[in-house]
Structure 1
Amino acid sequence: MFFEIPDRLLPGKTYPLGATYDGTGVNFAVFSANAEKVELCVFDPAGRKEVARLTLPDCTDEVWNGYLPEAGPGLLYGYRVYGPYEPQRGFRFNPHKLLLDPYARQLSGPLRWNDALFGYRIGSSRQDLSFDRRDSAAAMPKGVVVEEAFNWGDDRRPEVPWEQTVIYEAHVKGISILREDLRSEMRGTFTALANPRFIEHLQRLGVTTLELMPVQAFMQEGFLLAKGLRNYWGYSPLSFFAPEPSYMSRGGLNDMRLAVRRLHAAGIEVIMDVVYNHTGSGNQMGPTLCFRGLDNSSYFRLVPGNERYYIDETGCGNTLNVSHPRVLQMVLDSLRYWAESFHVDGFRFDLGATLGREGTGFDPGSGFFDAILQDPVLSRLKLISEPWDVGLGGYQLGNHPPRFAEWNDKYRDGMRRYWRGDAGLRADFAARLSGSADVFDRRRRKPWASINFLTSHDGFTLNDLVSYSEKHNDANGENNNDGHSDNHSANWGAEGPTDDPGIKQLRNKVRRAMLATLMFSQGTPMLLGGDEFGRTQGGNNNAYCQDNEISWVDWKLAESEEGQALIDFVSRLGAIRHNFTALQSHRFLHGEEIAPGVQNVSWYDEQGNALEGDAWQNGDARALAVQRAGIGPKGEVDKVLMFVNGWHEPLRFRFPAMNGGWYLLVDSSVGETEIRQVGEEAVEVQGHSVMLFASRVPKVLR
């Protein structure tokens, strides 16, 4: 060791929790309400040998603490916790198992699976009621004491207004691992996110906000490794404070900080997808890695009257007990850590409905929501919830409190069905196009609360959505039984790749129409990384375990003629959205007059007749027109007019009123649109297409 370890620890402080270096030593503090003794275990720099085991000398307010003088950054450590092993009462203490510090800022490496990780004897007839005495230290990653030092310079959050926000969802490894223009050690790491070419690509698309799939350290589940697969998505958390070790390059923790700083300098925000609803340790048959051994009955929601078993509202074996004040504190401490130490701009909460559950079910006034919304740091960030879980009453779209945006699956499914050609969807299509006011227009919420998406990491890519009618998940090893079966997709004539030029042309046309709809809808658009140049997963709609070419983004597609054309198209859509207030999400539109004779929204059929009453319920109708108006940057009235033809044949659309003429900005039936002023009274709109007209041509398109 680099210092002489004393025989005993000095009394420490109960705050802050975790291992905190103060310049002369390290304070250790960890919560456990039911432990009888807690030992700090110190390891050699390689993490292989336990060189000291020291009892934490004090416990105040259920926080065990001690101080190790002369210790500093780089120290590897873990805990052993003593107490009753009585699973029927919810207690699973086992000091033979080395435990991670819940507040560890860095991990020494990956988890190495073996039977010693389990608190019970694998193969015992008594299952988890048995007790295992093998030491698990050799298989466990250790916490690493860190020093929080980084020169942020003049870094400032971009603070992009919600109504101007365009989100790009990406996976740290998947978005860069196949980038041949990067050095090999950069690929698949945070460093690649700071690459100027990637940042320029986001800017070209009009992206304002990069949403990263989980970057907190996560587990590789044993059952996947046994099948030769890996946890790719990262929704199996191991540590809520430490970045995923495999995403770090030579710069360690500062790799992510540098990426955030450079993205901020380019005006791009960074949002983290976070998982606080469960841990990766599974149910009662899972390993003892951290919370289970620290204080199982405090950290997890257990079945009342039979605490051996876990309440599972997440589908992952356990549910974190966010109603417990110390667990809630840990979640908020974690969020603030990422916000303050890494300058992230917001969070997307996986299975957010679970976090809002109290004893009576989901509650928009739950302690979790209340705590965040009163927090002076967190309440100012972008907050997004996935508004569902697998528990009773778990679908809560539209029921989250103000200041939270929500992933809108009604938008996803409605748009997919409309462009597939399903009947009777004109009214629903209009509602989704208008920010889903039927869902979100309450409690003074704004249209931006609806996170509009066609595709996300969970499901088909956009290319696959128009190329496959069925899922093809055989590579997952579950006989194609996993993943959703009803994807509202269509292959348009052939299942999967095809050389038929007619089918390829039709697929491209539908894809462009869907992208135009996404960018021209009220609400906050989210684009799945790689969709802008035709990324495919070969029809796999549940690639959570495919850490390979199935999931990785192939940038060679972006270099192809077809890929470049689609990138150009998406870039045009983004530029138009950013240049017309009528296409943004300042407030819900209900036909109010904003200027003499000009309403903020008007709806028409293809004949130019106002849509009202029973006309909305026409099950055979596949077309509509919408005119939106807003006040431009110089106080002028900005108008846009969109013709939508969901039919397979061309339709002639009449202009409802010329009012000085219209300029054609987008015709999604072709990849590149020639801007022109329209003087005729009607135009032909191709099947499966969108045409967008505006009262002016923005400079960016001239």
Structure 2
Amino acid sequence: MRQYSILGGHAAPLGATVDGEGVNFAVFSQHARRITLCLFSDDGQTETQRIDLPERDGDVWHGFVPELRPGQLYGLRADGPYAPDQGHRFNYNKLLMDPYAKRVTKHPDWHDALMGYEVGHEAADLSFDTRDSAKYMPRSVVEDVLFAWGKDQPPHRRTSQTVIYEAHVKGLTELHPDVLHKGKFLGLASDAILDHLVNLGITAIELMPAQAFLNDRFLIERGLVNYWGYQTLSFFAPDPRYLAYHQIAEFQHMVARLHSAGIEVIMDVVYNHTGEGNEQGPTLSFRGLDNKSYYRLTDNPRYYINDTGTGNTLNIDHPMVLRMVLDSLRYWVEVMHVDGFRFDLCTTLGRTPTGFDRGASFFDAIRQDPVLTKVKLIAEPWDIGPGGYRVGGFPPPFLEWNDKFRDGIRRFWRGDAGHVPVLADRLTGSALQFDHSGRPATSSVNFVTAHDGFTLMDVVSYTGKHNEANGEDNRDGHNDNASDNMGVAGPTEDVKINAARAQRRRNLLATLLFSQGTPMLLAGDELGNSQQGNNNAYCQDNEIGWIDWNAVDPEFLEFTKRLIAFRRDHPILRQKRFLHSRERLMDGIEDLFWWRPDGVLMRDQDWTAPELKTLCAEMRIASGTPLYAQREEALFLIFNRGEAVSVHLPACMPGRRWRLWIDTGHPDIDGEVIDGSIIIAGRETTLALELEAF
């Protein structure tokens, strides 16, 4: 085996960098005494050489290896104190992944040798394990990240034009009959998937975690896997399970293909914790390189702060950890050309020793970054830490997932009392939460379903969850789903129940797409996809978690396309400014009217009436918004959860008339002219009428 020499190299950039003459390695560790580069044979089976990084600038260890080439397999070892009570867990016997690796070969193979301590020892994690873990570890790979992008142009969609489609790489593609590379990035880039997204009207696909992640040991022992991917191990490397030919260019090709179809790529990223778990977890990368720097520790530094529910919390307050996160984000934008990020448990990223701070270093760093301020940024605005629920509390330019929208809309259509005012709040962009600090109405990412919870079909088919397949005796997952099975749990041959379920699905989706804010659909909902009542399919890499393309509801698919097209064609539904039922400051014209069915404007006492089950809203272009859509003077939306009712329409000016475009009770209706009043069918109907000239 060839033996390489090493020179001093450079402290930046971090990671393994190819320059044509060799490879520069730079690794951060504040508390290590030595960092060793380990080179491996082409098949990864033999450790061919260990080379100590010869130079240290501050806390960055570095060295340059002449004549080393892309494709070289490597790992790291870190020597330092093993003193858990002081926060240090160095163990030179453990091979470590490079935190900046651009590709990794596989997932770790579970074995006790992956632990820095002796499993079963009476001293627990205070003990020290001397076994070499290399046999069970993935190899980091030296990569040349250049890609022939050609004329790739990010779509740069305005947020007001955005319709997000949350999808899992494998779940979306595995069962599609016309996809060749099933379960892979290349499969997602196929004509079949692109055609579906374009025809549906999607403008952005939000990919569930695609950075390399861990298969938890307790899942492997149950015969399951980490399907969703919220256990990141490498913030720069795509997960190897989604690569068909072990090339990061496959991800880049996927992005280019989506861009060519006018679709943006948003990545769901997990920077709040890593897959190494708590003090009883494995030593795979960050823990072995510098546990005390990478993780937030308690007053007893043997233990980890656990604001994420996963055992550990990444220490974003440390400048080098923050640098890694920002370097990672910029890498995915500049090298992989993604268009935005959804931050898992984003409250954690803004938590300081005194609590959540919308001016925390993470937010301030992003807000001044010339690269990251150009892409879409979406916060999941909660975690399980103290004061962790922060919906509406993030600084611009962040958008936020709005679970208040999900819960309020589901409960309204389920028939819960007192939810007409809730519907009104959600319909107009959840202004109480978001109308501050100059934030636009598009700040609210509205959804009725997401990966975490029931699918749309299951919302109307199951009253309770059915997570038995997860192996936790149905204890996991949300218990309050604001769902209703319409009288029978799961699939049924009852024609009336199936009709009622289809009606409610149409109402839920119409409400989503008629609301101010940024809509997000869960992949498969447009097809009628079910997860058999499982509302926590995080470990179901099988037919439960995959979309069934052979059981498509074609009528509902066509109705979904109509709703998205209607939203696209009517800017009143996707305004940047908030609508308010008050006089406009500029011209004295109101932009939002709440009407009673009898044609009288709503009064304060009407909102609290126990019999209130119908909401009628007239929307106009908001005050201050350029009137670029003069032909649209108003939309009239009706949401009826009660019995059949006659609704008197607002009087039209001469030369104007109301035309009915959407009726969830009659999904094929197409532009019927309505004069004076309209009879709304009972129990569940949503209508949209446009005021137009004739």
The equivalent residue for 1:536 is 530
Q: Give the Cα separation in 2 of the matches to 1:583 and 1:634.
A: 12
- Among 542, 558, 570, the alignment partner of 2:560 is 570
Q: Which moved more, 1:651-660 or 1:210-219?
A: 651-660
Deviations 1:256-312 (A, max 9, x none): 1111111111111000000000001110000000010000000000002x1000000
Q: Give the Cα separation in 2 of the matches to 1:251 and 1:191.
A: 12
Deviations 1:412-453 (A, max 9, x none): 100010000000111111000000001000001011100000
Match status 1:303 vs 2:303: no
Structure 1 residues 582 and 95: alpha-carbon distance in aligned structure 2, compared to 1, 3 A threshold: same
Deviations 1:443-489 (A, max 9, x none): 01011100000000000000000000000000000110011101010
Retained in 1: the 8 A contact 2:113–2:133?
yes
Displacement after TM superposition at 1:683 (Å): 2.7
Structure 1 residues 596 and 34: alpha-carbon distance in aligned structure 2, compared to 1, 3 A threshold: closer
Match status 1:80 vs 2:81: no
Query: Which runs of structure 2 are paired with 1:52-67 in the superposition (5 Å)?
Result: 52-67=49-64
Match status 1:590 vs 2:580: yes
The equivalent residue for 2:261 is 266
The equivalent residue for 1:255 is 250
Unmatched tracts of structure 2, length 5 or more:
none
Query: Which runs of structure 2 are paired with 1:489-528 in the superposition (5 Å)?
Result: 489-528=483-522
SS of corresponding position for 2:252:
helix
Retained in 2: the 8 A contact 1:105–1:145?
yes
Structure 1 residues 131 and 427: alpha-carbon distance in aligned structure 2, compared to 1, 3 A threshold: same
Unmatched tracts of structure 1, length 5 or more:
none
Deviations 1:147-188 (A, max 9, x none): 0121111111111111111100000010000111122xx011
SS of corresponding position for 1:543:
coil
Displacement after TM superposition at 1:597 (Å): 8.0
Q: What TM-score results when the alignment is normalised by the length of structure 1?
A: 0.96
Q: Give the Cα separation in 1 of the matches to 2:401 and 2:210.
A: 20
Q: Give the Cα separation in 2 of the matches to 1:572 and 1:494.
A: 29
The equivalent residue for 1:35 is 32
Structure 1 residues 33 and 546: alpha-carbon distance in aligned structure 2, compared to 1, 3 A threshold: same
- Among 383, 386, 397, the alignment partner of 2:380 is 386
1:69 maps to a residue whose letter is: P
SS of corresponding position for 2:425:
helix
Displacement after TM superposition at 1:695 (Å): 1.9
SS of corresponding position for 2:449:
coil
Equivalent pairs, count: 687
The equivalent residue for 2:596 is 605
Match status 1:177 vs 2:186: no
- Among 278, 283, 286, the alignment partner of 2:278 is 283
Query: Which runs of structure 2 are paired with 1:271-350 in the superposition (5 Å)?
Result: 271-304=266-299, 306-350=300-344
1:99 maps to a residue whose letter is: L
- Among 625, 628, 633, the alignment partner of 2:619 is 628
Match status 1:416 vs 2:410: yes
Displacement after TM superposition at 1:197 (Å): 2.3
SS of corresponding position for 1:603:
strand
The equivalent residue for 1:691 is 687
The equivalent residue for 1:230 is 225
The equivalent residue for 2:571 is 581
The equivalent residue for 2:667 is 671
Retained in 2: the 8 A contact 1:603–1:625?
yes
SS of corresponding position for 1:338:
helix
Q: Give the Cα separation in 2 of the matches to 1:650 and 1:519.
A: 24
Deviations 1:302-330 (A, max 9, x none): 002x1000000000000000000000000
Displacement after TM superposition at 1:596 (Å): 7.5
Q: Give the Cα separation in 1 of the matches to 2:418 and 2:600.
A: 19
RMSD across aligned positions (CA)? 1.4
Q: Give the Cα separation in 1 of the matches to 2:432 and 2:268.
A: 27
1:5 maps to a residue whose letter is: Q
- Among 87, 90, 93, the alignment partner of 1:96 is 93
2:284 maps to a residue whose letter is: L
1:246 maps to a residue whose letter is: R
Match status 1:441 vs 2:435: yes
SS of corresponding position for 2:520:
strand
Q: Give the Cα separation in 2 of the matches to 1:12 and 1:609.
A: 77
Retained in 1: the 8 A contact 2:40–2:48?
yes
Query: Which runs of structure 2 are paired with 1:469-484 in the superposition (5 Å)?
Result: 469-484=463-478
Retained in 1: the 8 A contact 2:383–2:389?
yes
Retained in 1: the 8 A contact 2:278–2:304?
yes
Match status 1:23 vs 2:17: no
Retained in 1: the 8 A contact 2:632–2:692?
no
Q: Give the Cα separation in 1 of the matches to 2:100 and 2:200.
A: 38
Match status 1:188 vs 2:183: yes
Structure 1 residues 387 and 339: alpha-carbon distance in aligned structure 2, compared to 1, 3 A threshold: same
2:71 maps to a residue whose letter is: G
Displacement after TM superposition at 1:618 (Å): 1.8
Retained in 1: the 8 A contact 2:620–2:634?
yes
2:290 maps to a residue whose letter is: D
Retained in 2: the 8 A contact 1:349–1:386?
yes
Match status 1:651 vs 2:641: no
Q: What TM-score results when the alignment is normalised by the length of structure 2?
A: 0.97
2:567 maps to a residue whose letter is: R
Displacement after TM superposition at 1:634 (Å): 5.2
Q: Give the Cα separation in 1 of the matches to 2:188 and 2:540.
A: 21
Q: Give the Cα separation in 2 of the matches to 1:670 and 1:43.
A: 65
Displacement after TM superposition at 1:402 (Å): 1.2
Q: Give the Cα separation in 1 of the matches to 2:233 and 2:267.
A: 16
The equivalent residue for 2:353 is 359
The percent identity for this pair of structures is 51
Retained in 2: the 8 A contact 1:685–1:691?
no
